[in-house]
Amino acid sequence: MGTWDVGPFNNDTAADWSGDLHDAVSDQRLPLIRATLSAVVDESDTYLDNPLADRAIAAAAVVASQLPGGQPLVTAYAPDFLLDGGTLDIPADIPLLALRALHRIFGDNSEWHDLWQDAGRYAEAVDALRAVRATLERAAA
């Protein structure tokens, strides 16, 4: 696993997912986001593997960036079409799905949780997603 920092795109899995989102035909981007988030939410009874978590965190950051008050994506590892000024029209149900995915990822039955705990940086990793969560919470309310 290539992880270089706590941000939502700061690992190989998230960067690759961003490339897949960029390469997707425009009408397939939202289904890809929904499927990515749903894959985490649907894994509620099993130990959540880190690659699923990394992709869902990137998806949640993309969603939040497209919502009112969301922080624009500035990392070179985000989807290029968004960095170039493209947008996505986020359906009303997606922010809540993204929140549910983050809740699952931050939980005890998650490899993402365990890896950051073991590294002694769990609080920092969660804090790096504070703005994403706040934007999603506003949209889901």
Per-domain boundaries in the chain: 12-140
Beta bridge partners of 11: 3
Does the pLDDT at position 1 exceed 70?
no
Supply the pLDDT for residue 4.
Answer: 75
Whether 124 contacts 6, CB under 8 Å: yes
C-alpha–C-alpha distance, residues 129 and 9, integer Å: 11
Q: What tens digit of pLDDT does each residue of 36-74 get?
A: 999 999 978 899 999 999 999 999 999 999 999 999 999
Supply the pLDDT for residue 2.
Answer: 79
Give the dihedral of Cα atoms 39, 42, 46, 49; nearest 10 deg. 20
Per cent of the chain over pLDDT 90 is 91
Q: What tens digit of pLDDT does each residue of 5-15 get?
A: 788 999 999 99
Whether 12 contacts 81, CB under 8 Å: no
Supply the pLDDT for residue 45.
Answer: 84
Supply the pLDDT for residue 56.
Answer: 98
Torsion sign, CA atoms 55, 74, 123, 69: negative
